Structure 1
């Protein structure tokens, strides 16, 4: 189950932080590390500060875009301060997050995403997540080093895993309740956007409307079966739209 929990570091500046994060992961039984456009990697400082976790570094994957590593995940948790402008489901306590992550990881991959040392995750990157989590800290000085943040959340995940052994069937999701992957969610969101635009519901770009609907479905956490039902509904609605309107919209997309 722990092998289904992925740690993703986005545009890490200091290679030493990558090594320390790998060490934090290994101490908690995690091994799946993905690096999104690191400034400098591989690097001797990363290997030196891994201090025995070189195997985690050796198995790390480097990708150009965050979206490349999230498609197969059923839950993606971005580590950041709460952003009121992006009302995704938010865990105020890491242990609550860890319990959910462990439960979902019994069925499919999940990811914990950490941003840049100084600026964290961008709004666009957080929109790729299904949830957010914050680490409670001193309000006068709530600054954690990247590897410290990885250690805290990795510890909570390992603690939740110890409390709920993988063999305990009571914590497994039944097949009909299995969560969709982020790729499947992305297809649904694109389908919904297409129907809203084609039907005339969106007559001009309405970023806030689409973000609010994204947040609504993130809070609802529809299962794969429920998401398939929603896509079936959208397809049925498309069949009742005027054919000339559909062709005009398709031609417009092709020109774009």
Structure 2
């Protein structure tokens, strides 16, 4: 399960934080690092601060957008110190996040996303996520360095993995309960948008209706089978709307 869990760093400013995050990952058995538009990479500082985790840095993948980094993932968890206006499912405790991530990682990739050192993730980037997670901290000073946040959440993942690994009972997720990838969910969102437009449902008084409906379906966490049924319903209601079944 751990090899299917991906750490994604968005627009990292200090290359040393990339190396420190890679070191935090390797100590907890994580190896897949994806960088979204880092300011400087490759960089000697990243390699130096990685210490013995130079292989994680060397194998890091650089992409142009968060969408590209997580399109094949069935769960995308955004690490955020504060809740955003988009009402995504929220893990207030990292151990609950770890249990959920490992459950989903049995069948497909899962991403844990960290934002910029100073400003974190934007509202648009949070929309690419299926969940949010926060790290409980001192309310008067809850500031964590990027690599510290990676270390804490990576530890929770490794702890949850150890618990499962030592158990004689391994739960197998039924095939029909497999979550959709973010790419499949994006196809559904576009299909829903087309049907709402063609039906005349979307109008100026309903400016936030589409965003709220998309948040509703995100919170519902439909399986691939359920998402396929929803798309079948949309096609039956409006056959001339988008019918891309990807």
TM range (shorter): over 0.9
Per-residue deviation, 1:168: 5.9
Structure 2 CA distance for partners of 1:205 and 1:160, relative to 1, 3 Å: farther
Per-residue deviation, 1:221: 0.7
Q: Which residue of 2 aligns with 1:172?
A: 172
Q: Give TM-score scaled by structure 2 length.
A: 0.94
Partner SS state of residue 20, structure 2: helix
- After TM superposition, list the pairs within 5 Å mapping 1:201-216 onto structure 2: 201-204=201-204, 206-216=206-216
Structure 1: any 5+ residue segments left out of the alignment? 250-256
Structure 2 CA distance for partners of 1:205 and 1:165, relative to 1, 3 Å: farther
Q: Which residue of 1 aligns with 2:191?
A: 191
Per-residue deviation, 1:166: 8.9
Per-residue deviation, 1:206: 4.5
Structure 2 CA distance for partners of 1:95 and 1:207, relative to 1, 3 Å: farther
Partner SS state of residue 165, structure 1: helix
Q: Distance in 2 between matches of 1:191 and 1:169?
A: 40
Per-residue deviation, 1:167: 8.4
Q: Which residue of 2 aligns with 1:125?
A: 125
Map Cα deviations across residues 76-125 of structure 1 (whole Å, 9 max, x no partner).
Answer: 00000332511000000000000000110011000000000000000000
Determine if the alignment matches structure 1 residue 69 to structure 2 residue 69.
Answer: yes
Structure 2 CA distance for partners of 1:61 and 1:207, relative to 1, 3 Å: farther
Structure 2 CA distance for partners of 1:130 and 1:184, relative to 1, 3 Å: same
Structure 2 CA distance for partners of 1:168 and 1:125, relative to 1, 3 Å: farther
Q: How many residue pairs align between the two structures? A: 242
Q: Is the CA contact (8 Å cut-off) linking 1:89 and 1:215 kept in structure 2?
A: no
Map Cα deviations across residues 197-240 of structure 1 (whole Å, 9 max, x no partner).
Answer: 1100002384521221122112211110000000000000003x
Q: Is the CA contact (8 Å cut-off) linking 1:9 and 1:115 kept in structure 2?
A: yes
Q: Which residue of 1 aligns with 2:50?
A: 50
Q: Is the CA contact (8 Å cut-off) linking 2:164 and 2:170 kept in structure 1?
A: no
Per-residue deviation, 1:162: 0.5
Q: Which residue of 2 aligns with 1:153?
A: 153
Q: Which residue of 1 aligns with 2:12?
A: 12
Partner SS state of residue 48, structure 2: helix
Map Cα deviations across residues 50-94 of structure 1 (whole Å, 9 max, x no partner).
Answer: 011000011100011110011110000000033251100000000
Per-residue deviation, 1:181: 0.4
- Report the aligned-residue RMSD: 1.7
Q: Give TM-score scaled by structure 1 length.
A: 0.91
Q: Which residue of 2 aligns with 1:60?
A: 60
Which is greater in Rg? Answer: 1
Q: Which residue of 2 aligns with 1:252?
A: none
Structure 2 CA distance for partners of 1:160 and 1:209, relative to 1, 3 Å: same
Structure 2 CA distance for partners of 1:168 and 1:78, relative to 1, 3 Å: farther
Per-residue deviation, 1:4: 0.3
